Amino acid sequence: MLSFPEFIFKHLTVSVIIGLITFKVISSFLDNIFNGIFYLLTPQKFFFTINKLYDCDKNKLDNDKMYLEEKEKIKYGIYYGSFLRDFIIWFILMVIFYLIVRLLNLNAYCSKPK
């Protein structure tokens, strides 16, 4: 029978390390490759302009002016555009990962002897 310390040091530790390495690789892919391609296709200003921004007196700020000049005046914000951008990136990556897994499963299925 597997004891609790044995479980922690053997299985859980390996799972956490593999998870951290996987996170680092996916994060690097996002930062160095995918975001560059994504921003070439959809300008960042598009997502910024649908945000709702307010100053410290809760007066609505003009997004175009804030984007170009005075970002330090932003005190409060509802970042619809940032959420939309992150959701689109997440969705595209999930489709890519789904296709990769499906392709790997199809290759594994085709290589089995009958």
Does any domain span residue 37?
no
Whole-model pTM above 0.75?
no
What is the rounded CA–CA span in Å between residue 88 and residue 56?
31
State the CB neighbour count (10 A cutoff) for residue 15.
10
Domain count for the chain, please give it: 2
Domain range for 3: 1-32
Same domain, 63 and 96: yes
What is the predicted pLDDT for the residue at 114? 56
62 within domain boundaries: yes
Tell whether 59 and 105 lie within a shared domain. Answer: yes
Q: Please indicate, yes or no, if residue 52 is contained in any of the structural domains.
A: yes
Element (H, E) at 68: helix 63-68
Asked whether residue 49 falls in the same domain as residue 17, the answer is no
Number of Cβ atoms within 10 Å of the Cβ of 108: 9
For residue 91, give both structure tokens: 């969705």
- pLDDT tens series, the chain, 114 aa: 778 777 777 777 777 888 888 889 888 988 898 888 888 887 777 777 777 777 777 777 766 565 555 666 666 777 788 888 889 888 988 888 888 888 888 666 666 665
Cα dist. 57→41, 46, 50, 53, 74 in Å?
Answer: 36, 26, 20, 11, 10
